[in-house]
Structure 1
Amino acid sequence: MSLMFRSIRARIMSWHLLVTALLITAFSLILFSTVADSLYRGVDMTLLSKAAEINSGLDFEAGRWNFPQEENDFSAADLLIQLSDLGGNILARSANLGKKRLPLNATIRAQALKDGPAGSLATVSVGQGPPLRLLTVVDTGDGTSAGLLVQVGISLKRVESTLGRLRFWLLIIAPTLLLLSSLGSFFLADRLLRPLKTMAQTAESIGERSLSERLPVANPEDEIGQLAGTFNRMFGRLQRAFEQQKRFVSDASHELRTPLTVLRGQLEVALRRRRSAQEYRQVLETSLGQAERLSRLVQELLLLARADSGKWQPDFQPIELAQLCAEIAGEIKTLAEQRQITLEVACAKRPVVYGDPLLLRRMIANLLDNAIQYTQPGGQVRLSLELQGDRARLSVADTGLGIPAEELSHVFERFYRADQARSQQRTGGTGLGLAIVREIVRVHQGQIEVESTPGEGTIFTVRLPLYRTATRSH
């Protein structure tokens, strides 16, 4: 495709001109054909009418034809009349023929005899002049003698002149209309594409520091307005994603910087002077704890990065969820006892789900760990499992601090801290546990909900499809 037709404007104009040219051409041909047909039909009707008039005035008596004087001396300039026998001998003709004669060759006679009283019409040329429209009719008289050929002709000069003028004006008007149409298509394309050009310029100007800008929407009901609205919604999503990404990077750098700062500080203090073996051991234990926290944070960041990039490849298999809950509760029970928290497990049903055992183990462990971390000593954490239709319903409830209602929608965001009290209560966490839980639930085609009452506790509820339902959807 040439460079000219790469733009939408050029394509709109080209198609508009092509359609207009075809319409003008079709209209011109139809108009010319209709006018020509009407003119020729009028000529033919005149010839047939005159031939009938002549035939009605002919008289055959005593073996010979008697011609009316007024027809023999016909004075009309338009019509040419000639009477001949079947042998081609001229018996009478109109005065306006002079010494000329109408064409009467064997072909014309044969066609006239074939067509009979209906007459034979033909367009013939006479010398260098304009063509004639000629009607030849056979009159057999009394049927016992030689017949008579009645010929009536008329010059087509006026018809051709009229058609010539029509052709001239069509050749003038058609290009003029095409030119006007091209100008109209140019302004129409410009008007139609002007909003798109404005949208392109605005979109080009939107950058990292101007994500809040939006495309102008003149008419939200038309197609261009709908396109602008779609782009604006996309820019809104990009803005939120970019802000979330910036916040994530900032939080991640902060979370990484804190243990690194502690680790560096501990090592620098340890190296300022000679210390005892016990002091060095304490420094190394503290450094090891910070290194483990860094390792855990990096692993969780990598896990979320794989989830975001779609490179997560879970190993799905049938899993008895009650058994998995019991195993994890047994592992977490020691941590709960250390914090003087009662851990209860209620798994009356034994639903089988289709999932990745490592990911589901991590999901349950994160929920229990989160509940224990935010529950005060003497509190209670309850893990329950039950069937709910074609879903397994897993709940983790605590009697901890609770979460304010306005912050519930943010608890699954990465590095989010619900409030200062919960942040102070939290120890050793990365701020990514619930974000990982949400991604694990999503990849298992489940749903997660949170309910909380400040001062009373929080309930996290996960619904996962059962084994047969999950295999059909996968």
Structure 2
Amino acid sequence: MPAEGSATPQSETSALVSQLRQSLGLLRVAFDATGEAMLIVDSERQVRWVNQTAAELWGGGLPLRVIGKRLEALICLRHLDQRLLPLTDSHHPLNQSRLGEGQASLLVQAISSLESSQSDVLQRMVSWRPITEMGGVFTLLIFRDLEPLEKSLQQQRAFINSLAHELRTPLAILSGSLRRLDRKSPLAAPLDRALNNAIDETKRMAALVDKLLLLSELDTDRFNWNLKRAPLDQFLDQWLNSLVADDRSKVHMHWPSTPSNCLMEFDQLAVNRIFDSLLGNSLRFGGSDVTFTINVVVNSSFVDLSFSDNGPGIPDDQDVSALFERFSRLEAHRTLGEGDGCGLGLSVVKSLVEGMRGEVLFEGESPAAGASKPFKVNLRFPIVKTISGEHVVQVDVDPKVQEDVQTDQV
């Protein structure tokens, strides 16, 4: 018989259950008080938990109308240019969550508004986070309204995109007219120099507009990615084969023992542009005897592609990471005829790398006093995981969503 005043096991259990219910109730109140819509989805894409904000958006204010439904029966996700983001797309948040947490600005539309022909499309910052501590595979999805600063930035990027599009046509006409003039009878020396300068400046301006347009498309999610899964060596071989013989002879590739076992998800054109830009910088600033080295290191979950050359390097006080910011150039190279003249080439590299879920890392060495340091850049990309023999989750798309997919492909 327990001593008087001592707690029995039953009373202790009851108190713990009461405290747990109270904590869960307080937690529910906290989640419901936020302005962010939250969902927890399981591996079968069924909603297992929802906060009040999400229930008001997609369940008429009742969480029970949302819980238990598949995600594709509740909402439809689109890119900012209105292209459908199907569940079979590797950029879909549920597929991205397999590689870790992240976020993207997307258009969100309730399936109910699709069926009723309403145009209730919301632009949201969608965040995803895998949950692995609960004995299953779950994904937390958070839909946040854009802050005023983010909205302003999106508008600015859309303006740059429209401006770049508008400039391409007149620049093409101007470039064609200058080339036709150059093919005519020889001009006097001063006029010939002026004509050549005009041709060079027009080419530089066209390159600037192309880079601005590409960056704008990447910023506003309008870039048309063509991602494919293949062994790493296939992507690198295709890039090497695209080079002219003289440039290819300057590239030294250090491979791991079994690179073909490493399955990656890349856009080949994006890979070519990244590597071409880095190689072009080395050839432009390193001289005729420069050697461009790519060292491939395969880890358990990611691949490191390390780029370096034996060129003159960069000043010791120069921050390498700053060179990847837009309109950033080395003062030592700011001369006519050197560089792209706009400081956007490495920014394009960084944006393309991040668009393929990679990151740009910088390797630094401490040179001797007054000496320059070598230019070394490391690109890190995740390895595609094999899950139950499949590399992409194949799903049965809602018939209405499937109809939209077919419409977008026409």
TM-score for the superposition, normalised by structure 2: 0.43
Larger radius of gyration: 1
Q: Which has the higher contact order (CA 8 A, sep 6+)?
A: 2
Higher helix share: 1
TM-score for the superposition, normalised by structure 1: 0.38
